[in-house]
Chains A and B, each alone.
Chain A
Amino acid sequence: MEELCRKDLMKLIQSTNFMVIEMALYLDTHPQDACAMGTYQEYRRQFKRAVALYEKKYAPLTFYGVEDENGWSWGNEPWPWQKECD
C-alpha cells in the first residue's frame, strides 16, 4: 500500500469503501452471516489503513483527519466534483 501513488491510493480507498458499504447493507438484513462478517472486517481493515496513509501523506478526507503540522488544510485541496481530484 505504501508504494501506491496518490491516484491509486484514492482508488483503493474508494473501492474498499464501496465494499464496506455493500457488506454493511447486506449484514443489516443478514446479521448472522459469519462469512459476510469476515469479508466486512477485511475490507474495513484495508479501508482504515488506506485512509490513514492518505491523510498522512496527502490531504485530509474528513475534518477529523487534518494533520496538525499543516495547519487548517481542509480547504486546500480540490473538492470531489473538481476534476483534478479523481
Chain B
Amino acid sequence: MWKYMKMLEYPVNIKTTNARLAMAIMSQLGGPDGEKGAATRYLSQRYAMPDNRVVGVLTDIGTEELGHEEMVSTIITQLTKNLTMDEIEQSGFYQYYVDHTTGIWPQAASGVPFSTATLQSTGDPIADLHEDMAAEQKARLTYDNILRLCRDEPDVYDAIKFLRAREMVHYQRFGESLRMLQDQLDAKNFYAYNPAFDKKAPCI
C-alpha cells in the first residue's frame, strides 16, 4: 500500500526551457540506469529477501525512487513547457515530439523504450544486492554525465545534484545490507547456496 503526497521530495523550479537538455535527462526516467528501473528493481526484489531489515531498505529506497521519477518527470515537463516549433525543429527533441508531443513517456536519451530487460530480480539476495550497488553507481555516473551537460542551467543543476547525492547514500545503505546478510551466512563461502531458495548448502 502506498500513499501519495502532493509535493516533490526536493523543489524543482526551472525558468528557461531547453529541449536538448530534456532529451538527455529523459534517460534518468526511462533509460538503462534510470529511476523507473531503480524503483521496479528494488520493489520487485523485496519478496525474495530473507532478512526483514533488508526488506525495509528495499521498500524505503524503492519508495524514494518513485519520488525521484516524479522529480525527473517534473524537470522534463518544465524544460519543454511552451516550446516554439522552431525550438522543437532545431533540437534533438524533434523525434520524441512526433510520438509524444511534450508528454512524459519513459525512454532512454537514445530513444530506446524503457525495458525491464535492463534490470534483474534473481531470487538470490546476494546477487540482487550486488546488482543494487552497481545500479546506484551507474545512476550516479549518469547524473555526473548530465551535470556536465547543464553547467549553464543553475536550476536544473541544483535538482540533478540532489538526485546524484541520493545515489551515493543508497549505495552506502545497500552495502550495509549486504554485510548484514553475509553476517548470517557461512563466512568461508558466502556463495555456497541461495539463502532464499536452498534450505542449506548443497553437498558438493
**Chain A residues at the B interface, C-beta cutoff of 8 Å:** 10-11, 13-14, 17-18, 21-22, 24-26, 28-31, 59-64, 77, 79-81, 83, 85-86
- The main secondary structure of chain B at its interface with chain A is helix
Q: Do A86 and B173 have beta carbons less than 8 Å apart?
A: no
Q: Do B7 and A28 have beta carbons less than 8 Å apart?
A: no
Q: How far is the CB of A22 from chain B (nearest CB, A)?
A: 7
Residues of B within 8 A of A85 (CB): 7
* B144 CB-CB contact with A under 8 Å: no
Q: Do B180 and A80 have beta carbons less than 8 Å apart?
A: no
Instruction: Report the separation of the CA atoms of residues A83 and B13 in the bound assembly, to the nearest whole angstrom.
Output: 6
Q: Do B61 and A80 have beta carbons less than 8 Å apart?
A: no
Q: Which of B8, B9, B12, B53 contacts A21, CB < 8 Å?
A: B9
Q: Which of B7, B14, B60, B169 contacts A80, CB < 8 Å?
A: B7
The size bracket of the interface on B is 20 to 34
Q: A14-B10, A29-B173, A83-B78 are in contact. Are A62 and B60 (CB under 8 A)?
A: no
- Tell me the nearest residue of chain A to B59, going by C-beta: A28
B32-73, CB under 8 A of A: which get 1 and which 0? 000000000000000000000100110011001000001001
Q: A22-B169, A25-B173 are in contact. Are A81 and B73 (CB under 8 A)?
A: yes
Q: Do B9 and A86 have beta carbons less than 8 Å apart?
A: no
* B5 CB-CB contact with A under 8 Å: yes
B1-33, CB under 8 A of A: which get 1 and which 0? 001111111111110000000000000000000
Q: Do A79 and B6 have beta carbons less than 8 Å apart?
A: yes
Q: Do B9 and A25 have beta carbons less than 8 Å apart?
A: no
- Tell me the nearest residue of chain A to B55, going by C-beta: A28
